[in-house]
Amino acid sequence: VAINKMFNPSLKIATVAHRGASGYAPESTLASYQLAVRMNADYIEMDLQLTADGEIVVMHDETVNRTTDGRGKVMNLTLAEIKVLDAGSWFNKKHPMYAREEYVYEKVPTLREVFEALGKNTSYMLEVKSPEDNPGLEEKMWALVEQFDLVDHIAVQSFSKDSLKKIREWDKDVPLFQLMWYSRPAHISEASLKEISTYANGIGANFLRINENYVHKVKNAGLLMYPYTVNYQINMSKALEWGADGVHTDYPDRFNEVIDEF
């Protein structure tokens, strides 16, 4: 798979704002995404899910319980039911240091609303969440990306190889990242790397379980390496020393400082 020149690691180390600048503002809200863009993130990361009535909303958890004042599974709620929820007050309570009065007005955004608000001012790391619970999500997402003429402004990541392969069939250039999560020190076989290279451009893996050798193996296979979720500058520096091509972080400003000094 040819690596899009926009993602050539020699050109740019990527700052991926995980759920937006979610260390400073309620995750996966417009406030969080707008702040990430102001902090010069290269990508804003969004977890996508379908509501009961088939709209794409941006939310990480399967339920609205943690990040809103409502209860229930996203897949069982309509967009109208989700839109009345307060998606910011939980953040103010949990992070008084960064609390802001206006966050109480934040809503769960649809993907369309984020594209409308930010358009070509940023790039989007779109995560296809649990495809088995969200049938047709990839098709709907792709239709919106085309409608907003954003094909050159996105990358897609997923834990699902099937989702990524489906998207690769539609577009041979869009950067795709295979997500991995390791509960033990990470190992990856040459055979897995070879297979991933047939459909993806890179790997996203949890930073705490990888090491320099893992990064080198990924890079030697011609793949990009974006560890997640790296929030301390000491770890960000380590990721860069190992050869990572970018990191996912809740604090895009911190990573940009590390890149500047690297």
- Is 216 one of the annotated active-site residues of the chain? no
Min dist CB 227 to ligand G3P, Å, is 9
Cα–Cα nearest to 157, from 135, 130, 177: 177
Min dist CB 225 to ligand G3P, Å, is 13
Residue window 111-130: x/- pattern of binding to ligand G3P, with contact defined by CB under 6 A: ----------------x---
Residue 243 region by backbone torsions, left for phi larger than 0, else alpha for psi between -120 and 50, else beta:
left
Among 47, 55, 138, 250, binds ligand G3P (CB under 6 A): 47
The token pair that represents 18 in the structure block: 């995980």
Q: Answer yes or no whether residue 60 interacts with ligand G3P by CB under 6 A.
A: yes
Cα–Cα nearest to 30, from 118, 94, 159: 118
Q: Among residue numbers 206 through 235, which ones bind ligand G3P (CB under 6 A)?
A: 228
Segment holding 81, helix H or strand E: helix 79-83
Number of residues that bind ligand G3P (CB under 6 A): 9
Among 7, 18, 128, 186, binds ligand G3P (CB under 6 A): 18
C-alpha distances in Å from residue 42, one per residue of 14, 27, 113, 152, 182? 6, 17, 19, 13, 26
Cα–Cα nearest to 171, from 194, 196, 201, 213: 201
- Judged by beta carbon distances under 5 to 8 A according to partner kind, the member of Ca ion, ligand G3P, none in contact with residue 88 is none
Among 26, 88, 175, 204, binds ligand G3P (CB under 6 A): 204
The token pair that represents 95 in the structure block: 């992070």
Min dist CB 58 to ligand G3P, Å, is 11
Min dist CB 127 to Ca ion, Å, is 4
C-alpha–C-alpha distance, residues 30 and 26, integer Å:
9
Q: Among residue numbers 23 through 42, which ones bind ligand G3P (CB under 6 A)?
A: none
Are 115 and 127 in contact by the 8 Å Cβ rule? The answer is no
- Judged by beta carbon distances under 5 to 8 A according to partner kind, the member of Ca ion, ligand G3P, none in contact with residue 179 is ligand G3P
- Is 60 one of the annotated active-site residues of the chain? yes
C-alpha distances in Å from residue 116, one per residue of 112, 136, 228? 6, 22, 27
C-alpha distances in Å from residue 130, one per residue of 35, 48, 87, 212? 27, 9, 22, 30
Q: Answer yes or no whether residue 248 interacts with ligand G3P by CB under 6 A.
A: yes
Min dist CB 102 to ligand G3P, Å, is 25
Q: Which residues of the shown chain bind Ca ion in the complex (CB under 5 A)?
A: 47, 127
Q: Answer yes or no whether residue 45 interacts with ligand G3P by CB under 6 A.
A: yes
Are 25 and 91 in contact by the 8 Å Cβ rule? The answer is yes
Which residues form the interface with ligand G3P (CB under 6 A)? Answer: 18, 45, 47, 60, 127, 179, 204, 228, 248
Q: Report the catalytic residues.
A: 18, 60
